[in-house]
């Protein structure tokens, strides 16, 4: 089998928001039956056509690292975060807290990327806008359980979540249990494909060639030293 270049995208969010359901739908084009809690991390792979339909089209492997959201694993899951080429932040549209917690998830990912030397001193101090500006790791925000959300069902548009606005990230609302949620040509499928293109672009086609994770803490610290303290 041909060897394809690959990128690693991590999928994070609170336990039960639907990360495994979403990951399965993306990779298998069908819903998963009765997902069980993810212990540690589960990796699914999909092939993606970068810049499909253009002369630059090329096939890549996308690894989706579906991270178990249980808070009891908070101290051990850092091993899964390095390297990270793209981040999918998942929240449950029927659970506002899960959306608010995405800021903590983002902070956790940059905080625990394999180094115990540098820490964000407080999640409240964490500024997603600054994070995005300094690391340029592409982010996609996904709101699940749109079928159960009154707000989504009764309005054709729902306001983007704060974190998506702060990160300048695209956001998708969907029902992970329906194949049609990511039907080819749908706006959600287009956003997802555009996100994967961005991740590949950043990883393989960026002129400066900087690894997103190797450089981000230094950049963040130089931007705002208050984020960091030494142990």
Ligand X SMILES: Nc1nc2c(ncn2[C@@H]2O[C@H](COP(=O)(O)OP(=O)(O)OP(=O)(O)O)[C@@H](O)[C@H]2O)c(=O)[nH]1
Q: Are strands 119-120 and 228-229 parallel, antiparallel or unpaired?
A: antiparallel
User: What residue ranges in 119-227 does DSSP mark as E strands?
Assistant: 119-120, 139-144, 170-173
Contact range with Mg ion by CB under 5 A, out of 13-21, 72-80, 114-122, 173-181:
13-21
Return the number of the residue (175 or 197) whose C-beta is nearest ligand X.
175
**In 3-139, which ranges are continuous DSSP H helix?**
19-28, 96-100, 102-111, 128-135
> By the criterion CB under 6 A, which residues form the site for ligand X?
15-21, 35, 37-38, 68-70, 144-145, 147-148, 175-177
With CB cut-offs between 5 and 8 Å by kind, which of ligand X, Mg ion, none does residue 177 bind? ligand X
Q: Which two tokens stand for residue 8?
A: 């690693």
Q: How far apart are CA 231 and CA 119, in angstroms?
A: 8
| Binding characters for Mg ion, 18-57, by CB under 5 A (x = yes) | -xx-----------------x-------------------
With CB cut-offs between 5 and 8 Å by kind, which of ligand X, Mg ion, none does residue 145 bind? ligand X
Provide, rounded to whole angstroms, the least separation between the CB of residue 181 and ligand X.
8
Return the number of the residue (12 or 107) whose C-beta is nearest ligand X.
12
CA dihedral 114, 203, 132, 72 (to 10 degrees): -40
Alpha carbon separation from 86 to 19, 61, 125, 208, 226 (Å, rounded): 15, 13, 22, 17, 25
Provide, rounded to whole angstroms, the least separation between the CB of residue 73 and Mg ion.
11
Provide, rounded to whole angstroms, the least separation between the CB of residue 18 and ligand X.
3
Return the number of the residue (30 or 230) whose C-beta is nearest Mg ion.
30
Q: Does 188 bind Mg ion (CB under 5 A)?
A: no
Return the number of the residue (39 or 206) whose C-beta is nearest Mg ion.
39
- Residue whose pair of structure tokens reads 């298998």 in the numeric block: 28
Using DSSP's 3-state secondary structure scheme, residue 155 falls into coil
With CB cut-offs between 5 and 8 Å by kind, which of Mg ion, ligand X, none does residue 128 bind? none
In 10 A of CB 101, how many CB atoms?
Answer: 22
| Contacts of 94 by beta carbon, 8 Å cutoff, 6+ apart | 145, 148, 149
With CB cut-offs between 5 and 8 Å by kind, which of ligand X, Mg ion, none does residue 15 bind? ligand X
Return the number of the residue (145 or 216) whose C-beta is nearest ligand X.
145
Provide, rounded to whole angstroms, the least separation between the CB of residue 189 and ligand X.
16
Using DSSP's 3-state secondary structure scheme, residue 139 falls into strand
- Residue whose pair of structure tokens reads 């115990």 in the numeric block: 116
With CB cut-offs between 5 and 8 Å by kind, which of Mg ion, ligand X, none does residue 165 bind? none
* List of residues contacting Mg ion (CB under 5 A): 19-20, 38
């Amino acid at each position: 089998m041909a060897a394809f270049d690959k990128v690693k995208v991590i999928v994070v969010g609170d336990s039960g928001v639907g990360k495994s359901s979403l990951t399965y739908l993306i990779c298998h084009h069908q819903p998963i039956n009765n997902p069980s809690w993810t212990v540690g991390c589960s990796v699914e792979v999909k092939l993606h056509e970068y810049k499909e339909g253009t002369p630059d089209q090329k096939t890549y492997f996308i690894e989706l690292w579906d991270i178990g959201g249980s808070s009891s694993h908070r101290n051990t899951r850092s091993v899964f975060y390095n390297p990270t080429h793209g981040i999918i932040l998942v929240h449950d549209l029927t659970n506002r807290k899960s959306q608010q917690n995405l800021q903590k998830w983002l902070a956790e990912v940059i905080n625990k990327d394999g180094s115990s030397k540098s820490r964000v001193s407080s999640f409240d101090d964490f500024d997603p806008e600054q994070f995005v500006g300094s690391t340029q790791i592409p982010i996609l925000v996904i709101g699940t359980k749109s079928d159960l959300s009154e707000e989504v069902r009764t309005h054709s548009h729902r306001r983007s979540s704060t974190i998506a606005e702060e990160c300048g990230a695209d956001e998708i609302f969907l029902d992970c249990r329906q194949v049609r949620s990511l039907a080819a040509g749908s706006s959600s499928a287009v956003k997802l494909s555009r996100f994967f293109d961005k991740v590949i672009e950043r990883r393989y086609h960026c002129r400066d060639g900087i690894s997103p994770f190797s450089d981000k803490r230094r950049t963040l610290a130089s931007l705002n030293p208050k984020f960091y303290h030494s142990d």
